[in-house]
Amino acid sequence: MSKRLLLVLVVGSVVGVSVGHSVFAGVIHDENFDGDNGGYTVTDDGFPESPWQWDSGSGTWLTTGSENLGQPSHSRLTSPAVVITESGLLELTFLHRYSIEGDLWDGGAVFISVNGGEFNQLLTDAFSAGGYTGFGLIGNHDLNGDDGYNGDSPGYGDGTFITSVASLGTFSVGDTVAVQFLAAWDESVKGQEPNWQITAVTIAQVPEPSVLALAAIGGFGVGVLMLRRKSTRY
């Protein structure tokens, strides 16, 4: 294989991958919380000491955690319902940092509600990046036995926000989706402050994998054909 052909192969592959999400994805919910709270709401149980709150100074939603209550406590941050405008796959992306009591005690997790139904937890396999870090949580709270965020996120001490990406599934036009971030604490001890902080949330419609594959293969095929035609002239 010539160097010229190898170059086309590499470029064709990169273009095929990058085109996937940046060109074809349709964003239907995009919130960075800089100007307001994004219409997100908070519900609590167990009287947490620091439920989710919007911080106008940092343009984030955050909780500093809960401890020393002698009972479990929970705080749930819920997005507005988003209407699906095109049938297909949905993907959730959010930027966050966390310091949640480690050794599988406390936890944070993401839930989804479809068409106003009950909230169900996104499982570990739904994440393609920045997924759960605690598996089989043991604290006395609603996430006991489930997976969730636990310990410190990478770069937490430097103020670094990580990117998490999860598939929400396939939906039809007119469906509605809401996401919820559950912070769950046991009776005592918590991580550093803030316990969990979210700076951006995006929900986007993404193309079927077959569409991306055809686009990438088609572009690659044209490149190889042109190169071969050129090579026959000399």
Sequence ranges of the domains in the chain: 1-25+208-234, 28-206
Q: What's domain 28-206's superfamily in CATH?
A: Galactose-binding domain-like (2.60.120.260)
What's the one-letter identity of residue 175?
A: D
Task: Give the pLDDT band (50/70/90) at residue 217.
Answer: very low
Model's pTM, two decimal places? 0.80
Residue 178 pLDDT exceeds 60? yes
In the chain, the N- to C-terminal Cα span, in Å, equals 17
Q: In the predicted model, what is the mean pLDDT of the chain?
A: 84
Each residue's pLDDT tens digit, 50-109: 999 999 999 999 999 999 778 999 999 999 999 999 999 999 999 999 999 999 999 999
Residue 124 pLDDT exceeds 90? yes
How confident is the model at residue 211, as a pLDDT?
A: 46
